[in-house]
Amino acid sequence: MTLTDAPARPRPRDAGRASPMSLWRLLWLELRRNAMPWMFPLLAALFVFDPFRTAMGYGPFWDLRASVLENKLLPDFVLFVAGVAAWMGSRDSRRHTRDLVDATARPRWTAQLTTWAATTLWVAAGFLICVAVLYGVTASQATWGGPPWWPVAVSLAELALISALGFAAGTFFPSRFTAPLAAVGAFLLCLEGFRNAVGRSSVYALLSPTTSVPDDDTGLFRHYLPDVSIAQLMFLIGLTLVVLAALGLRRAADAGPRLRRAAAVIAVAGLAAAGTAIGLTGTARTQAYGTVIPALHDAANDRPIPYTPVCGQAAGVPVCVHPAYRNFLPAMTAALAPVFRQIASLPGAPARVDQVAVNDLIASNGAAITGVPPVFRLPVPATPDETSFGQNASTFSSYLQSTLVTGFVLGAHGFVAYGPPVGTPAQQAVVLALLQKAGTAIQTGAGPESAHAKAEQVAAAARRFAAQPAATRHAWLAGHLAALRAGRITLAQLP
- Residues near other proteins, by CB under 8 A: 2-9, 11, 14-19, 21-23, 25-26, 29, 32-33, 35, 91-92, 95-106, 111, 254-257
Alpha-carbon separation of residue 115 from 32, 172, 259 (angstroms): 11, 15, 17
Which residue's CB is nearer to other proteins, number 93 or number 211? 93
Which residue's CB is nearer to other proteins, number 95 or number 488? 95
Q: Evaluate whether 203 touches 284 at the Cβ level (below 8 Å).
A: yes
Least Å distance between CB 96 and other proteins? 3
**Cα 294 to Cα 280: distance, rounded to the nearest angstrom:** 8
Which residue's CB is nearer to other proteins, number 65 or number 108? 108
Q: Would you call 461 exposed, middle or buried from its count of C-beta atoms within 10 A (0-12, 13-18, 19+)?
A: buried
Cis? peptide before 151, omega within 30° of 0: no
Least Å distance between CB 16 and other proteins? 4
**Cα 396 to Cα 100: distance, rounded to the nearest angstrom:** 66
Least Å distance between CB 32 and other proteins? 7
Alpha-carbon separation of residue 38 from 25, 28, 80, 94, 398 (angstroms): 22, 17, 10, 19, 48
Q: Would you call 261 exposed, middle or buried from its count of C-beta atoms within 10 A (0-12, 13-18, 19+)?
A: exposed
Task: Output the CA angle 159-163-164, nearest 5 degrees.
Answer: 120
Count of C-beta atoms within a 10 Å radius of residue 211:
17
Least Å distance between CB 38 and other proteins? 10
Least Å distance between CB 173 and other proteins? 18
Q: E strands, 374-459, where?
A: 375-379
Which residue's CB is nearer to other proteins, number 108 or number 437? 108
Least Å distance between CB 267 and other proteins? 19
Which residue's CB is nearer to other proteins, number 9 or number 303? 9
- Positive or negative torsion for Cα 256, 257, 263, 264: positive
Which residue's CB is nearer to other proteins, number 257 or number 448? 257
**Cα 491 to Cα 463: distance, rounded to the nearest angstrom:** 12
DSSP 56-98: HHS-S-HHHHHHHIIIIIHHHHHHHHHHHHHHHHTHHHHTT-H
Least Å distance between CB 186 and other proteins? 24
Which residue's CB is nearer to other proteins, number 87 or number 476? 87
Which residue's CB is nearer to other proteins, number 223 or number 251? 251
Q: At what angle do helices 393-410 and 329-343 cross, to 10 degrees?
A: 40
Which residue's CB is nearer to other proteins, number 53 or number 106? 106
Least Å distance between CB 93 and other proteins? 9
Least Å distance between CB 13 and other proteins? 11
